[in-house]
Structure 1
Amino acid sequence: MTEYSVIDDFSRFEEACRTLAAGTGPVAVDVERASGFRYSQRAYLVQVFRRDAGVFLFDPPAVGDFAPLQEAIADVEWVFHAASQDLPSLRELGLEPAVIFDTELAARLLGHERVGLAAVVEDTIGITLKKEHSAADWSTRPLPESWLEYAALDVLHLIDVRDKIAAELEEQDKTEYAAQEFAATLAQPPRPPREDPWRRLSGLHQVKGARNLAVARSLWEAREEYAQQQDTSPGRLVPDRALVAAVLASPQSKQALAGVQAFNGRASRSELDRWWKAIVRGRETEDLPKTRVPSDALPPPRAWSERNPEADARLKAARPAVEEVAEALHMPTENLLKPETLRRLAWTPPALTTDAVAGALEALGARPWQIEHTAQKIVDAFVEAAQSPDPALASES
């Protein structure tokens, strides 16, 4: 078994970068985080492989400045499996590819039944990977040898997989589809910060009234502040359900809060003062949150027949038409066209011409290859729905 070591010294890091720069072909890149353990989504290990160079495992907190790696590999293709998961963490380190190849996304376009890394590696080159450390705490130091082997194998075979997948794309005439999808992944802007992120508390729907919502918000903010200070995942300190339980119990004293059985978690008692002060702040604030928040989210399709029967008819006509195209292309429907895109088009349709629908699809983020395959089909379906004597009788999806 090959023994791997983590590079946590800058001089060794620079030497590794020179070796990678002298390698040949694309580079395989992967990132390990400590999701569920740490507060941030920062990278705690970066793995890089290049032919004629080898595998290198870098320790981001120890290395610090990743500029030499960016310089060494910036002008070559970076190969990922599920690039959208790793790009944000890499960008925090100043690592930005010019061109990418995503084996997971390509496998979807090819219609592979299994698209996880281990499955794609096995299906394409016949090598079985062990995936027992995927949910590990990668902020652990020192990292166990078995973890390092797992991390190295995530990139060691990825270039061979890329070559097999690229050949499949060529055979199915999907090379251009994949190129457009890769470019879209790379160009995807960072998600803007959520407005009122505390509203994502699991179980918050049980909390009624603006004052109680203010208490829930205050507890969430107190937990967030403490989690950031401790660099710990908030849910590991006090789970969402415990915060909601504290709001619902409406304790009248710190001691009463301590007596709420469902208010648990490793910091629920050790930081009792913090949580009680948060409850008091929530009860005293004059800045009460709205009990209902405006949203541009569409109603669930099951409600369309009553709320917008014409849109319901359009969706029920277009959905199977798009599914038929996806089936002919041997790929999941959601990779041909996002369900949300079709729903928005059906809810607020443009003029029923190919150019107008194509423009609307483009505005909603569809790629040229997707528009080419779906625009006319959607026009035909929408026209059919409009000609139906009773939208409620439109064909079921």
Structure 2
Amino acid sequence: MSYTLIATDQALVDLRKSFQARNIQTIAMDFEGEFNLHCYGEHLCLIQIFDGTNSYIVDPLKISPVELKNTLESEALVKLFYGAASDYALVFKKYQIRMARVVDLQCHVDVLNLPGKGLDSVLQVILSIPPANKKKFQMHNWMHRPINPEALVYALGDVIHLFTLRDALQARVEEAGLLEELSARQKAVFPEFNYDPTPRIYKTPEFRDLNKRAQEILKALFEWRDATSQGLNCSPENLLRKSLLFTLARNPDSVKSLRPQNELNPRLFLELQSVLTKIKI
């Protein structure tokens, strides 16, 4: 699969000018990101674009936030996504970008009440395209450069069928008389988005089920893990698993059963013990 790599601000500016010169008003788009799996934090790692004829890979790690904003907030381009909510949230949290003119094809699937919601399932049902083998890249490190060419082909696979899928889904929506429901659904996907910085762990039923004291302990442990992971640029989960946070919050003395050579290196193990000691005072 051939594609053009966009890895400078000027190249991205030229791409937008090319769309305008060729009267391209709609592009298919998808993101690949890093979500505290291989390093600390959430990062936009790749933008895949298909204009109906040509494919492009935009490397956001080499593009300025200004030009990313100019592209993603452009009112000149309709952007076809499938399952755009997490992508929308990522660029807002990372760059305060509010993507403009997004059409999320998952909304079509929702109003049609199709049995499978994943893109592979929908492509198979609607376009008879067999599902791709995605297991190899489900936990891929998209921060790594250079990017594996095979991974880039995998990533582009999520955009090259979106135009055909849009036409097929739109026809079904119209035939079923669901245009009003689709319009309402599209508006509901992207309400006035305001980033809530509250860590997701504090919103879980497991956290709410803790007593007040255990919640205080978990918050202290979480803050220590987050700050330490940021300093080491490592995944917080790799430093101290979420399940262990809850175990220690419920029973701080269980730290004695941890083996530093397996769970933490000796220095971090001593830091963890110190955190728990201060909480218990």
Q: TM-score, normalised by structure 2?
A: 0.82
1:44 aligns to what SS in structure 2? Answer: strand
Select which of 146, 149, 152 maps to 1:148.
Answer: 152
**SS of 2:155's equivalent?**
helix
Structure 2 counterpart of 1:164: 168
**What residue number does 1:271 align with?**
268
* Displacement after TM superposition at 1:204 (Å): 8.2
Q: Secondary structure at the match of 1:280?
A: helix
Gaps of 5+ in 2: none
Change (3 A) 1:49 1:279: same
Q: Return 173-182 or 3-12, whichever deviates more.
A: 3-12
2:121 to 110, 119, 122: 119
Name which structure has the greater RCO, CA cutoff 8 Å, separation 6+: 2
SS at match of 2:197: coil
- CA-CA distance at 1:224 after TM superposition: 1.4
Amino acid at match of 2:269: L
Q: Please name the residue that 1:63 is paired with.
A: 63
Q: CA deviation at 1:203?
A: 7.6
Selected match of 2:239 from 237, 240, 257: 237
Q: Distance in 1 between matches of 2:69 and 2:112?
A: 35
Partner of 2:42: 41
Match of 2:110 in 1: 108
Look up the match of 2:185: 181
Within 1, Cα distance between the matches of 2:3 and 2:271?
Answer: 44
Identity of aligned residues (%): 18
Answer whether contact 1:198 1:221 (CA < 8 A) is retained: no
1:85 corresponds to which residue? 86
Question: Which protein is richer in strand relative to its size?
Answer: 2
Structure 1 pair 230/177, CA: closer, same or farther in 2 (3 Å)?
farther
RMSD: 3.0
Distance, in Å, in 2 between the alignment partners of 1:195 and 1:14 is 36
Q: Is residue 36–residue 42 contact of structure 2 (8 Å, CA) maintained in 1?
A: no
- After superposition, where does 1:183-262 map in structure 2 within 5 Å? 183-194=187-198, 197-198=201-202, 200=204, 205=209, 210=213, 212-247=214-249, 250-251=252-253, 257=255, 259-261=256-258
- Residue 159 of structure 1 deviates from its aligned partner by 1.4
Question: Shift of residue 144 of structure 1?
Answer: 0.8
Cα distance 1:199–1:216, how it changes in 2: closer, same or farther (>3 A)?
farther
1:13 maps to a residue whose letter is L
What TM-score, normalized to structure 1?
Answer: 0.60
Aligned pairs for 1:329-348 within 5 A: none
The CA distance in 2 between the partners of 1:149 and 1:272, in whole Å, is 42
Quick one: distance in 1 between partners of 2:115 and 2:154?
A: 24
Aligned length: 274
- Do 1:30 and 1:155's aligned partners in 2 also have CA atoms closer than 8 Å? yes
Contact 2:240–2:264 under 8 Å retained in 1: yes
Q: Which runs of 5+ in 1 are unaligned?
A: 285-397
Verify the 8 A CA contact 1:215 1:281 in the aligned structure 2: no
Q: Check 1:219–1:96 CA distance in 2 against 1; reply closer, same or farther (3 A cut).
A: closer
